[in-house]
Amino acid sequence: MSLGYVLPESLSEASKFLREHKQDARIVAGGTDVMVQLRRGGIEGKGGPRWLVDITRIPGLAYIRAEGDVIRIGAMTTHAEIARSPLIRERSPLLAEACASIGSPQIRARGTIGGNIMNASPAADSIPAFVALSARVRLAGPEGVRDAAISDVFDGPYKTTVQPGEILVEVHFNALTAGWSSAFVKLGRREALAIARLSVAVVVERDSTGRVSRASIAPGACLPMPSRVAPAEAIVVGKVADEEVVKSAAREVAEEMVRRTGVRWSTEYKKPVVEALTRRAIWKALGVDAH
Amino acid sequence: MKKVEPGARTTISFKVNGKRVEVEASGKDRLIDVLREALRLTGTKEGCGIGECGACTVLLDGKPVNSCLVPAFQVENREVETVEGLARDGVLHPLQEAFVEHTAVQCGFCTPGMLMSALALLRENPQPTREDIARAISGNLCRCTGYHQIIAAVEAAAKKMRALAEGGDKEC
């Protein structure tokens, strides 16, 4: 089988084609995941799509803007653009850090935020950051536009709940305002071109007394579905963080991973590492460099 | 909406190293395929084919990209720069000269990609630190040099290019 393509100039053209061709059609934007998958399946292999739908010519999908306290990022925005955006670096630094850690300069120049979300890799770097920010995505489809919570988009590794014909057009979330701080830490096998073995995104809010009033802890690459870990967040909230509190919250994240995934061959390694990484991420979010 | 059937070929027109070219390509052709096969610009190397090694790095509208991950149809009307565009009238680009002078080339397979990543860096930041250089070439693997000679070469080229720019020569 060989590969055809279409170059839609509007969302409705793209959406219509995608709905008609369902699994036979695949969206391509930056190509950094799709092109690798095509090659792995053999470019002319059986499993792959028959059509690529190139959405890069559809105008108006690449932007980063603030509307009041809401930050909106267009799906076609690249990782490099997010990583160097002064707005993102100032008002949601964990997302800038997550995007700066993706792949290599070449990958970041091409890969898009919409693609990173919709590829739904358990190791995607931006996803824990968006989950910690309680981000929402906007999907444009044949029946119009709908918004969904980021965690409702995923249906397992590399699977989404998005319907044929629906296209992710935007991700938005509340900017971190006074009192809020954040961190993203990632463990890869090397510093560049590393797929996350584990990552942790943390967002915390402290009141004027230094007590943690709200917390969001979202680990990456270790849960079957991206999500926050509420029992760990509950340990931190209402307290002034000290080593005891941070350690027990970190332990809770590791235990939650085991509860959700069961004991696997990798658990012996992952459990202490998730705990250490979470501890580091919480301290980093609180402005303390802990090793 | 332009539509090209599976298996069909169509003409793609774009600029390579400042010259407009037209090539025939199908939906499964990648940018590296049309560069190497149709245009015979074999300076660009294919290493891993999955965006991990950076050997196939070229500039697309000035930005370094892995040409093995770019579908050929996406470059229509865009500008591509390859290693063949560096030397002018048989005179090496300052980056190439510096690579030779600093023994930054051993087997040479990574060199075209390294040069293109370095070129993108120096255009954006004519006075990079060693740290900036290391980060700019972090998507390019080299199995021979251990990177130090490459970083030294880019540093020296930056110096050379700044001197040339001050001398009023804006060729680079």
Contact B70 A110 (CB under 8 A): yes
Q: In this structure, are residues B80 and B59 in contact, taking their beta carbons and an 8 Å threshold?
A: yes
What are the chain B neighbours of A102 within 8 Å (beta carbons)?
none
pLDDT at A193 over 80: no
Q: pLDDT tens for residues A122-144?
A: 889 999 999 999 999 999 999 89
pLDDT at A266 over 90: no
Distance from CA of B142 to the nearest CA of A (A): 13
Q: Does A2 touch chain B (CB under 8 A)?
A: yes
Residue A290 confidence (pLDDT): 72
pLDDT classification of A264: cutoffs 50, 70, 90: confident
Entry pTM: 0.94
For testing contact with chain A, the best of B138, B141, B147 (most A CBs within 10 A): B138
pLDDT at A7 over 80: yes
Bigger pLDDT: B169 vs A287: A287
- Quick one: average pLDDT of A152-161? 94
What are the chain A neighbours of B8 within 8 Å (beta carbons)?
4
The one-letter amino acid at B23: V
Distance from CA of A3 to the nearest CA of B (A): 4
Distance from CA of A204 to the nearest CA of B (A): 30
SS3 (DSSP) at B30: strand
pLDDT classification of A42: cutoffs 50, 70, 90: low
- Quick one: average pLDDT of A201-221? 95
Q: In this structure, are residues A205 and A214 in contact, taking their beta carbons and an 8 Å threshold?
A: yes
Q: pLDDT tens for residues A92-108?
A: 999 999 999 999 999 99
Query: Count of residues for chain B?
Result: 172
Contact B3 A6 (CB under 8 A): yes
Residues 224-283 of A with CB under 8 A from B: none
Q: Does B6 touch chain A (CB under 8 A)?
A: yes
What dihedral angle (degrees, nearest 10) is formed by the CA atoms of A222, A226, A228, A230?
Answer: -70
What are the chain A neighbours of B60 within 8 Å (beta carbons)?
110
What are the chain A neighbours of B68 within 8 Å (beta carbons)?
35
- State the DSSP string of A216-227: EEEEESSSSS--
What are the chain B neighbours of A195 within 8 Å (beta carbons)?
none
Q: Which residue among B50, B74, B138 places its CB closest to the CB of A54?
A: B74
A186 forms beta bridges with A199
Region of A210 please: left (phi>0), alpha (psi -120 to 50) or beta: left
Alpha helices in chain A (DSSP H): 11-21, 34-40, 79-84, 86-91, 93-100, 105-110, 113-118, 126-132, 230-236, 243-261, 267-285
Residue A40 confidence (pLDDT): 82
Q: Which residue among B26, B50, B51 places its CB closest to the CB of A2?
A: B26
Q: Does A107 touch chain B (CB under 8 A)?
A: yes
Surface-to-core class of residue A209, CB atoms within 10 Å of its CB (0-12 exposed, 13-18 middle, 19+ buried) = exposed
Strands in B2-4's sheet, in edge-to-edge order, are: A25-28, A51-54, A4-7, B2-4
The least confident of A40-44, A263-267, A270-274 is: A40-44
**Cα separation, A253 vs A279, whole angstroms:** 10
Residue A281 confidence (pLDDT): 97
- Quick one: average pLDDT of A74-97? 97
Residue B171 confidence (pLDDT): 52
- Quick one: average pLDDT of A46-56? 89
pLDDT classification of A1: cutoffs 50, 70, 90: low
Q: Does A9 touch chain B (CB under 8 A)?
A: yes
Residue A25 confidence (pLDDT): 95
Q: Does B57 touch chain A (CB under 8 A)?
A: yes
Residue numbers of chain B with a pLDDT score lower than 50 = none
A144: tokens are: 């119009």
Residues 109-168 of B with CB under 8 A from A: 117, 120, 135-136, 138-141
pLDDT at A189 over 80: no
Q: Does A164 touch chain B (CB under 8 A)?
A: no
What are the chain A neighbours of B57 within 8 Å (beta carbons)?
106
Q: Does A5 touch chain B (CB under 8 A)?
A: yes
Q: Which residue among A3, A44, A56 places its CB closest to the CB of B74?
A: A56
Nearest CA in chain B to A5: B4
Q: Does A50 touch chain B (CB under 8 A)?
A: yes
For testing contact with chain A, the best of B59, B61, B65, B78 (most A CBs within 10 A): B65
**Cα separation, A220 vs A210, whole angstroms:** 27
Residue A46 confidence (pLDDT): 56
**Cα separation, A34 vs A23, whole angstroms:** 14
Q: In this structure, are residues A205 and A285 in contact, taking their beta carbons and an 8 Å threshold?
A: no
Closest-CA residue to A241 (of A198, A287, A199, A274): A287
Interface predicted TM-score (ipTM) of this complex, two decimals:
0.94
